[in-house]
Amino acid sequence: MKPKAYESVAVSSRIRLARNFAEYPFPGRLIGDPRGEETAREIVRLVSAQIMPLESFLWYDMSSVSAERAEYLAERNLISRALIGNRRISSAFISRDESISVMINEEDHIREQYFIDGLDLTRAFERISGIDDVISYTVPFAYDEKLGYLTACPTNLGTGLRASVMLFLPALSRGGRMKEIAAKLKQLGLTVRGAFGEGSGADGDLFQISNEVTLGVTEEEILSVVEENVDRLVEDELTERARLKREGGLALSDRLLRSYGILTNCLKIGAEEFIRLMTDIKLAVALGILDGTMEELDNLMIAMRPANLSMLNGVPLGGEEKDVFRAAYAGGKLRAMGMLTDQKRNDLSPRG
Amino acid sequence: MKPKAYESVAVSSRIRLARNFAEYPFPGRLIGDPRGEETAREIVRLVSAQIMPLESFLWYDMSSVSAERAEYLAERNLISRALIGNRRISSAFISRDESISVMINEEDHIREQYFIDGLDLTRAFERISGIDDVISYTVPFAYDEKLGYLTACPTNLGTGLRASVMLFLPALSRGGRMKEIAAKLKQLGLTVRGAFGEGSGADGDLFQISNEVTLGVTEEEILSVVEENVDRLVEDELTERARLKREGGLALSDRLLRSYGILTNCLKIGAEEFIRLMTDIKLAVALGILDGTMEELDNLMIAMRPANLSMLNGVPLGGEEKDVFRAAYAGGKLRAMGMLTDQKRNDLSPRG
């Protein structure tokens, strides 16, 4: 059981297993060819038959899912861009609570993912292993005694396991520490990515830490090296936050409250500025400057992504309409959260 | 009786009369010489004896007034820098309601001023003329049949009358119109100054319009040319505001509400930024984007000037202390004004 402060750093954990059926070509070989695509549909049916009885899954046949719905799912990190790219043959099975996502005919035949709040890779691994076992009863997985699980891309060979933890690191990031940290983690076989996927900027001070090496190590070794390093990062971030609060003092509180003031009063706001201001507000909560829960703020950030926004609205929104809806919806939510009582204001001001 | 919208443009009117006693040298000749300074004190006593029975005046002998108090009075436009410069021999008589200020031994022996809200130069002139008559019973004023009242500086010769109106011109100013307006008014013998005196920038979009010519015209002519031109400026400003609101639309409302959001949430704010944000808030009130009264906002702006701030606090404040007090005090006042109800927010947003 991790201490409470952990949750304000370690946002969520994800385990992903890459699997392929031994008897079929990889999805890249199936797409574009009529017989191949029939095989791909066969793979979807095989997996579906096994897992649908297990959980209350929603089955998304990507060939009939609208572009907006696909974008909505991608924004919620439930499906990948690669799955959308293969939409002619791909499917996703997503549990109603959004804790499980099984993608079929992405880069590999099967990508099984389990998401969990906070830091608990072991539990996430146990959960997805249950799904993995059930799928494995159908057709034997492509497996080599020496190499382990065979995958479309050599970077997933062996365990096929990617253990990721999403971390909120505003203090380390603002302190210019991320480059050095990423270099250090790389030497340990770990990678750091901005929240919104490979190559993206570190929007929202969110960073995903995951194992790079999948081959020649056991699953347990992967989980433990990720957990250990996440533990250390969480500690570093908490230390850095304490220092930031101490040294930032009034100027920092002032800056963060101005972001709160803008976001609770503006009439329109673009996606980028929204993330920037929300990140300030989250940092303020993390430092005890504002009252609130990280989870509620994280959920709001996801809900305000462009496709999620349209889905929330019911009818697709144009460019400026999105900005107007975002300002009205998020502003209302934030004001209703009671993050800044008069008492709190008094406590924050040296005049109080 | 001017229509209601006038008051949101024409903030206040001021009449100033410059007078000198015929029998004494100008103040510039009195200062620094022991016998001259005794004469200067004699002038103060003569005026004091005449006007103290008229009103509930506070008498400020500038030689014994603290620098902070002098600055406080100057920030409230009740005394001039020149009066402070002559503090060895100068005095001010200020009525408790701050509508009358009689300065003794400024540039001239006597500077009589009457301040009034809104645009009403005629009434202000009548009021100060009453004071002027009473003072004139003591010692004859320096007066020349051909030139009129004699003054220390030729720019005040003749009527000794300066009729000024303070105007809030955010739309004309933001539309880049002030330079052209100033040039046009100059041709009519009028000058435009930033609110905080000659040579200052036009802080707060406040401009003082006054007559430049005092000689060879009657008092009535001066009052009427100022009033006429102020009338025209008020109309231009109101037209320009309507256009600004129409063309500015959502982007303008958004920008002004962001200023409101910052000012009602920040923990410290400097004098310059405060003026900038308050000016946005005043413009928002003028355009019906926020609820509130101009007078309350103008009073808050005066109260938040550095020396006024220290006086309000009771104990002098250092640099950052001022900024902290300003944020806490002004933020609290603005929040208490109920300028932005949930209903108002809904009305402003195209989502509402």
Cα–Cα distance, B337 to B333 (Å, whole number): 6
Q: Does residue B305 lie within any of the structural domains?
A: yes
* B228 or A193, which is more confident: B228
| Tens digits of residue pLDDT in A100-111 | 999 999 999 999
| Tens digits of residue pLDDT in A37-58 | 999 999 999 999 999 999 889 9
**Tokens matching residue B328:** 């806490």
What pLDDT score was predicted for residue A318? Answer: 87
C-alpha separations of A281 from A177, A339, B103, B271 in Å: 21, 10, 53, 26
Mutate to test the interface with A, among B253, B258, B265 (most CBs of A within 10 A): B265
Question: Which residue among A324, A325, A349 sits closest to B324, beta carbon to beta carbon?
Answer: A349
pTM: 0.91
CA proximity to B170, closest of B230, B238, B119, B227:
B238
What pLDDT score was predicted for residue A315? Answer: 87
Would you call A349 and B260 a contact, using CB atoms and an 8 Å cutoff? no
Q: Does residue A330 lie within any of the structural domains?
A: yes
As a dihedral over the C-alpha atoms of residue B319, residue B325, residue B326, residue B332, rounded to 10 degrees, the angle is 170
Cα–Cα distance, A330 to A276 (Å, whole number): 13
What pLDDT score was predicted for residue A200? Answer: 39
| Tens digits of residue pLDDT in B131-179 | 999 999 988 999 999 999 999 999 999 999 999 999 999 999 998 899 9
Q: Is the pLDDT of residue B122 over 50?
A: yes
Cα–Cα distance, A154 to B316 (Å, whole number): 71
Across the range A127-148, mean pLDDT stands at: 94
What pLDDT score was predicted for residue A3? Answer: 65
What pLDDT score was predicted for residue B203? Answer: 77
Across the range B316-329, mean pLDDT stands at: 92
Across the range B70-81, mean pLDDT stands at: 96
Q: Is the pLDDT of residue A230 over 90?
A: yes
Q: Does residue B318 lie within any of the structural domains?
A: yes
What pLDDT score was predicted for residue A197? Answer: 43
Range of the domain at A291: 246-348
Largest CA distance in chain B: 76
Size of interface A-B (CB pairs under 8 A): 78
Partners of residue A314 in chain B, C-beta under 8 Å:
none
Q: pLDDT category, A336, cuts 50, 70, 90? A: very high
What pLDDT score was predicted for residue B221? Answer: 96
Q: pLDDT category, B349, cuts 50, 70, 90? A: confident
Cα-flanking dihedrals φ and ψ of residue A59, to 5°?
A: -100, 115
Q: Does residue A102 lie within any of the structural domains?
A: no
Partners of residue B254 in chain A, C-beta under 8 Å:
266-268, 327
Give the number of domains in chain A.
1
Q: Is the pLDDT of residue B197 over 60?
A: no
Q: Is the pLDDT of residue B202 over 80?
A: no
**Tokens matching residue A289:** 């400057």
What pLDDT score was predicted for residue B1? Answer: 52
Give the number of other Cβ atoms within 10 Å of residue B260's Cβ.
Answer: 26
Across the range B47-68, mean pLDDT stands at: 94
A-chain residue closest to B260, CA distance: A265
Q: Does residue A234 lie within any of the structural domains?
A: no
Q: Does residue A343 lie within any of the structural domains?
A: yes
B-chain residue closest to A261, CA distance: B261
Side chain identity, residue B156: N
Cα–Cα distance, B196 to B202 (Å, whole number): 8
B109 within 8 A of B19, measured Cβ to Cβ: yes
| CB crowding B272-302: b at 16 or more within 10 Å, else e | ebbbbbbbbbbbbbbbebbebebeebbebbe
Q: Does residue B265 lie within any of the structural domains?
A: yes
Over pLDDT 70: what percentage of chain B? Answer: 96
Q: Does residue A281 lie within any of the structural domains?
A: yes
Q: Is A175 left (phi over 0), alpha (psi -120 to 50) or beta?
A: alpha
